[in-house]
Structure 1
Amino acid sequence: MIEFLLNGRIEKVDQVDPNLSILEWLRTKMRLTGTKEGCASGDCGACTVITGTADQNGSIRYEAINSCISLLGSLHGKELITIEAFHDKQAHPVQSNMMEKHGAQCGFCTPGIVMSLTALHANKEGRQDIEEQVMEALSGNLCRCTGYRPIIAAGKDAMVEEWTPEASHPAASLCDTSSNPGLEGIHKESISLSLANTARYDAPVSLDELRSLRRDYPDSRLVAGSTDLALEITQQLKSLEHLISVERVPELKGCTRDGDDLVIGAATTYRNLRASLSDLWPAFDTMLERLGSLQIRNRGTLGGNIANASPIGDMPPPLIALGATLVLDGPDGERQLPLESFFHDYKKTDLKPGEFIHSVRVPAPKDNEQLYIFKVSKRIDDDISAVLGAFRLTIDNGTVSDCRLAFGGMAATPARALKAEAALVGQPWNDASVAKAIEALASDFTPLSDVRASAGYRTQVAGNLLRRALLASSSNTSENLMVTDYA
């Protein structure tokens, strides 16, 4: 059985298909149809809801998520707020400003937009760049008829207004994130969902429990944020027999320093790792802003992105460029593996039966080391890479003493450009040396043509990104050091 708060009231759910998404449960079981299904893939934002999760101190973090690709079992111990919480009650500043600024036409996408902006309003991060915050919050919400100008204007005005609802309001907790008494009575033990022995969902709360489950059920599928795995359910119409969630295992969450390494738990979301990783390597900051949408970053995890083994995943190339190490765990104990050795072929990895990714060790910068990350996609927000280049360079007195060049989108796996690296090491860091390294890229990769880009385009862009690193390194501005690109 799972327990959670739904619009201020305790909800208990048992004997339900673990493949059920939050969206489908809301619409078909609870008849809360204000939350819409647009794409069923986490792209359009019409299904956006707000979840509240307590941290170790009891404070609540409210986040906008895509309910179409979030599984019902992930709600245990959390608060869920839908657009219905604001029906026939005191209007939220986001609602009133959306009306005043004419921010809706057909209204299909409007509930998701309201929820994204309401989550932003609840968090009150205190940053001065209100427009930037609003743009980030709306990066995962598509509107086909209104145009974004009035929506952005509504969001900017709403952020500076206070909201003080009555205590009985279903979403009154958004005004006080210090705690939520309604969550305190929900048990913290592991949970399990099943339906007539046809499907099962386990959510262990310790590393030992996870190891035991993986030992007993090595063919089970691991799930964290489900931002990719759920597409098998919503797009391919699969029914997954056994899911084991790692979301509640504390040993797999958070960022810590161990000597010169930053250790990131595999179940740490992009939202939660961004500050620590960007403090260590600033080039990640802008790249992470373009990794999916805010809804995706609130749910997606580092371990999931790596284990998915997609050739166009955004995180593996820069981590490979840095020489990151994977810590793998399982029935036979822990082992460490260079990330670049983890990928064997398309969607094939070095994981043994029952194993899982425990954490990722990212080395700190050494003297004269620089990292450049450039992402090329068809749009800036909420899009998948056509090519992603990540370059870790050590420049001593104008000479490349060491380098690691990694690409996504150029092969069946994220991979290093070893011949291009060999062409650069020991050479001056200048146009002539970079030109020779670009020539070598043709021997490193034979990319495929697909819907995102042709093989020729990918080859040309990969070389241009390396040339851009040279141009960026000649500038003294931090903006250029963190630049990303789109096409």
Structure 2
Amino acid sequence: MTTRASIRFLRNGHIVELTHVPPMRTVLDYLRLDERARGTKEGCNEGDCGACTVAVGSLKHGKLVYEPVNACILLVGQLDGKELVTVDDLADGHTLHPVQQALVDTHGSQCGFCTPGFVMSLFTLYQQGGAPTRDEIATHVAGNLCRCTGYRPIIDAAQACCTGKAADRWAKGAKEAARRLAALDDGADVFVGSAESFIARPAQAATLARLAAENPDATIVSGATDVGLWITKQMRQLPKIILTGGVKDLHKVEDGKDRVTLGAAATYAEATPALSAIDPDLAEVLRRLGSTQVRASGTVGGNIANGSPIGDTPPMLIALGATLTLRHGDTERSLPLEDFFIAYGKQDRKPGELVWRIDVPKLKPNEAFRAYKISKRFDQDISAVMAAFSFTLAGRKLSAARIAFGGMAATPKRGRETEAALQGVSLDQPATWDAAIAALAKDFQPISDMRASAAYRIEVAQGLLRKALLELAGAAETRVLANRKAVA
């Protein structure tokens, strides 16, 4: 087992090797300050506007895949073993890339500040090949904000250039790039810095667990979609950073007969196909979680580990009965996911212990699932209320229920009183639902904040439970089936 004291990545056909990397150095600062490549712009500096979007290429199941990421909250250490492509790289002399030319032809830019980010998001869509629909394009660029041009000509540009198989020099050089990335994958644990200040990207599970146990004061980073804001907005000093993304086993997504098992470093993009197959409602919430850039970097494990009361995935996983496995050194332990969240900012995780694996049961034939995300914006917004329901049916009656909410308490939380009140409820007698719906006010006493008032939250929560029961009873069968077919 070897240790390498450098970060290595592919850039413009050359291997970049960095031996002095400040732990908190972002890719955006590296590009603009170190490379002096200023095409990539700093906008919000928190991963919301997409102006800083770059493409990161990596080998997934032997195939070279380019994904858009927010350079402002991506750490340089996360580039190890990958390829970095920016807007400065695309033109071939005076010949624009097909994406750039399409934006010119459709008048897809005015002030131009957001344009580099749109170009790079569309570059990754172009690399996928095929001819995406307008809805698919809109979903892909939902993490790129434009305040001048408007989205119609930008989407027109995407439809004009994304018409089939990619034919640029990245597509033509894909085999060589894949070969070079495979050569960079030396299996070494990366450690750059000193005992007092370092960025580490272990490649071995045992090294990751040992390093975390030996450095309980280190910050554990998976996708940096949350920790990145600690750096850029909260100005925290994080002298020790341990990255989980280099351990291949932690990216595994196992789609078994009865459950889906996720390694803690599996990104949303990697986990979505298997999780979406559990239920279309889960697929729809995941489609609205963050943006394409966030889903390419952020992880389900990280969403759990940070313990946010407004995280979108914990309520759904709790309602499904997920189990969490943690690891400290060589010791693993498991617990129901809902038991991991103790209080605001406090989880059942001792210093140096890592979120390691999530086991998500699949629905049985007599079980039904519903999930709803309520936010001010449809795309890329934090939930005011996140609701998830799992019902066990005995004919036309409910024999059991698991109810979980985000945004309604200091942690993601089950509604135990409501669950008890739902037992034996008849789907054919809506009057019997009232006691359970009223019980939500006993389970949850939400607060008022900038996203919603307490009164709004409890009223919405009760309305969502009634909505779920109505759908289950068949009152909205036609609409529900249509919606579910659209996201299936």
What TM-score, normalized by structure 2, do the two folds share? 0.93
Structure 1 equivalent of residue 3 of structure 2: none
Structure 2 equivalent of residue 27 of structure 1: 32
Q: Which moved more, 1:358-367 or 1:284-293?
A: 358-367
Superposed, which structure 2 residues align to 1:1-20 within 5 Å? Answer: 1-20=6-25
Three-state SS of the structure 2 residue aligned to 1:185 is helix
Q: Taking structure 1 as reference, are residues 447 and 470 closer, same or farther at Cα in structure 2, changes over 3 Å only?
A: same
* Cα distance in structure 2, aligned partners of 1:291 and 1:219: 30
Query: Are 2:76 and 1:72 equivalent residues in the alignment?
Result: yes
* Cα distance in structure 1, aligned partners of 2:57 and 2:424: 52
Three-state SS of the structure 2 residue aligned to 1:395 is strand
* Cα distance in structure 1, aligned partners of 2:209 and 2:110: 51
Q: Taking structure 1 as reference, are residues 154 and 219 closer, same or farther at Cα in structure 2, changes over 3 Å only?
A: same
* Cα distance in structure 2, aligned partners of 1:482 and 1:388: 22
Structure 2 equivalent of residue 51 of structure 1: 56
* CA deviations over 1:246-289 (Å, ceiling 9, x no partner): 10112211211455221111100000111111112332111100
Structure 2 equivalent of residue 39 of structure 1: 44
Q: CA deviation at 1:178?
A: 4.7
* Cα distance in structure 1, aligned partners of 2:230 and 2:374: 26
Q: CA deviation at 1:96?
A: 1.1
Query: Are 2:447 and 1:448 equivalent residues in the alignment?
Result: yes
* Cα distance in structure 1, aligned partners of 2:208 and 2:409: 33
Structure 2 equivalent of residue 111 of structure 1: 116
Q: CA deviation at 1:465?
A: 0.7
The one-letter code of the counterpart of 2:189 is S
Contact 1:374 1:483 in 2 (8 A): no
Structure 2 counterpart of 1:349, from 347, 366, 387: 347
Structure 1 equivalent of residue 289 of structure 2: 291
Superposed, which structure 2 residues align to 1:128-207 within 5 Å? Answer: 129-160=132-163, 164-165=167-168, 172-175=169-172, 177-178=174-175, 180=177, 181-186=179-184, 187-194=186-193, 199-207=197-205
Structure 2 counterpart of 1:302, from 300, 303, 318: 300
* Cα distance in structure 2, aligned partners of 1:261 and 1:35: 41
The one-letter code of the counterpart of 1:432 is A
Q: Taking structure 1 as reference, are residues 390 and 179 closer, same or farther at Cα in structure 2, changes over 3 Å only?
A: farther
Three-state SS of the structure 2 residue aligned to 1:383 is coil
The one-letter code of the counterpart of 2:389 is F
Q: Taking structure 1 as reference, are residues 65 and 103 closer, same or farther at Cα in structure 2, changes over 3 Å only?
A: same
Q: Which moved more, 1:251-260 or 1:61-70?
A: 251-260
Unaligned runs of 5+ in 1: 166-171
Structure 1 counterpart of 2:105, from 97, 100, 109: 100
Query: Are 2:260 and 1:255 equivalent residues in the alignment?
Result: no
Q: CA deviation at 1:433?
A: 2.7
The one-letter code of the counterpart of 1:431 is P
Q: CA deviation at 1:219?
A: 1.8
Structure 2 counterpart of 1:428, from 419, 426, 429: 426
Query: Are 2:380 and 1:382 equivalent residues in the alignment?
Result: yes
Q: CA deviation at 1:93?
A: 1.8
Structure 1 equivalent of residue 410 of structure 2: 412
What TM-score, normalized by structure 1, do the two folds share? 0.94
* Cα distance in structure 2, aligned partners of 1:99 and 1:284: 38
* Cα distance in structure 2, aligned partners of 1:190 and 1:89: 42
Q: Which moved more, 1:208-217 or 1:182-191?
A: 182-191
Structure 2 equivalent of residue 392 of structure 1: 390
Q: CA deviation at 1:162?
A: 5.6
* CA deviations over 1:373-409 (Å, ceiling 9, x no partner): 0000011111110001000011222111110010000
Contact 1:283 1:482 in 2 (8 A): no
Q: Taking structure 1 as reference, are residues 175 and 388 closer, same or farther at Cα in structure 2, changes over 3 Å only?
A: farther
What is the number of equivalent residue pairs in this alignment?
474
* Cα distance in structure 2, aligned partners of 1:479 and 1:389: 21
Structure 2 equivalent of residue 242 of structure 1: 240
Contact 1:391 1:405 in 2 (8 A): yes
Structure 2 equivalent of residue 463 of structure 1: 462
* Cα distance in structure 2, aligned partners of 1:412 and 1:347: 8
Q: Taking structure 1 as reference, are residues 65 and 139 closer, same or farther at Cα in structure 2, changes over 3 Å only?
A: same
Contact 1:193 1:200 in 2 (8 A): yes
Q: CA deviation at 1:331?
A: 2.4
Contact 1:472 1:481 in 2 (8 A): no
Q: CA deviation at 1:483?
A: 9.4
Q: CA deviation at 1:12?
A: 1.3
Contact 1:93 1:161 in 2 (8 A): no
The one-letter code of the counterpart of 1:453 is A
* Cα distance in structure 1, aligned partners of 2:291 and 2:367: 30
Superposed, which structure 2 residues align to 1:271-290 within 5 Å? Answer: 271-290=269-288
The one-letter code of the counterpart of 1:20 is R
Structure 2 equivalent of residue 169 of structure 1: none
* Cα distance in structure 1, aligned partners of 2:255 and 2:35: 44
